[in-house]
Amino acid sequence: MHIEPQRRIYICFLLFAISMGALLSRLPDLQDALGINKSELGLTLIGAAIGALISLTFSAPIIARLGARTTAFITVLGTSAFIALVPWVGAAPLVFAVLFCEGLLAGALEINLNVEIDRIEAQLGRGVMNRAHGFWSLGFFLTALVSSAVRQAGVSVQLHLALTLAFVVIVGVIAIAGMRNAPARSQVQHSDEPRIALPTAGLLPLCVIGIAAFLVEGAGIDWSSIYMRDVFAVEPFIGGLGLTAFTFFMAVTRLFADPLVDSFGARAVAFGLLLLSAAGLAAVWLAPHPYVALAGFACMGAGCSAIYPLAVSAAAQRTDRAAHLNVAALAQMSFVVFFLAPPLLGFIAENAGIRISYLICLPIIIAALCLVGALAPRRDKAPQVPCGQS
């Protein structure tokens, strides 16, 4: 079956999001099954963050050696398998351990897919990074929409995640089987490369921008269902619409952002989206009615949508060292925030109220607004090589 190279990456992003979104949409049920409070749930979920941090720090050389296809097989299918195991273990410490293993694979997946889509983008001579991440958001939207109906129907978490795993395996094998390594953007050989990915001084502004995006994303994805339940006591279907609205507007914005970036530049687009994120956070904080909160989650989703992909593109195009290392270092600082958001917000929600917990995102958004100059003003449209066939 002929599938264009970028579409194979799109599918991998989609499948990873479907798996993770299925679990996150069932967090209220998982919390009840484990018999733990919000703070304890957050600490349980931090296992994924620790695993991702270790993987993002050390796995770049392994990924470069294994290649895109082998790494995709291991990480896309493996993360889904570990996620499907979560509701079966029955105890918070064991869930922590399973999520730690899932995080190890998720970190490697993050590096592999982002480096590959950046190389494919260079071949095509046009932007596809935001669209690739748009499929990740689309996966969250689809699984959020399905999960709202599944929860309303009373389907068990175990069956829900098992069916998700079966879907990921079938589609994933078809998409990944024909994947090939795309040629690197630069043929410059970096001698004496470090084996551990750590941020450099030049990469730190991009890290702050990525952290802002993932903090808003974690706030929207991880806690929106619990926010709607606790603040407004809505029924499960309406409660799930917070996650649905967030992921829908995030997906739509990412899918259509690349032409805007090509026309107006990353700086202008990122600045506008960060302001929209701040407006959404304020709406959720002050919402007097469930539908105002839903509008806030929609603004948050659209606002944080393209920020991280733009930072990834800038990191991958730096010439100071190999793209794997720069992407890994950026992801190390920002992707882990996505996993750290649950315990941080959970702690604040437990002690100060879940409304207040959303305000902690604002200072980092302000910092990111001050650093958007680290992004490129215009995307280079000139293709380096003709796009190959997969």
Q: What is the pLDDT of residues 87-121, one digit of tens each?
A: 999 899 999 999 999 999 998 998 899 888 888 88
User: Tokens 């730096």 label which residue?
Assistant: 318
Distance set, CA 320 to CA 162, 186, 188, 315 (Å): 44, 11, 10, 10
Q: Report residue 342's pLDDT band, with 50, 70 and 90 as the boundaries.
A: low
Helices 323-352 and 307-316 meet at what angle, rounded to 10? 150
pLDDT of residue 385: 46
The residues near 324 (Cβ < 8 Å, ≥ 6 apart) are 60, 61, 63, 64, 111, 115, 197
DSSP-assigned states of every residue in 167-206: HHHHHHHHHHHT--PPPPS-----TT--SS----GGGHHH
Residues 36-72 pLDDT 10s: 887 788 788 888 888 988 988 888 888 888 988 999 9
* pLDDT (mean) for 165-174: 95
Residues 290-315 pLDDT 10s: 989 999 999 999 999 899 889 988 88
The architecture in CATH of the region 5-181+196-374 reads Up-down Bundle (1.20)
Angstrom distance (rounded) from CA 194 to CA 157? 42
Angle at 306 between CA 353 and CA 102, to 5 degrees: 65
For residue 205, what is the DSSP state?
H
What token pair was written down for 122? 């260079």
Q: pTM for this structure? A: 0.75
Domain residue limits, the chain: 5-181+196-374
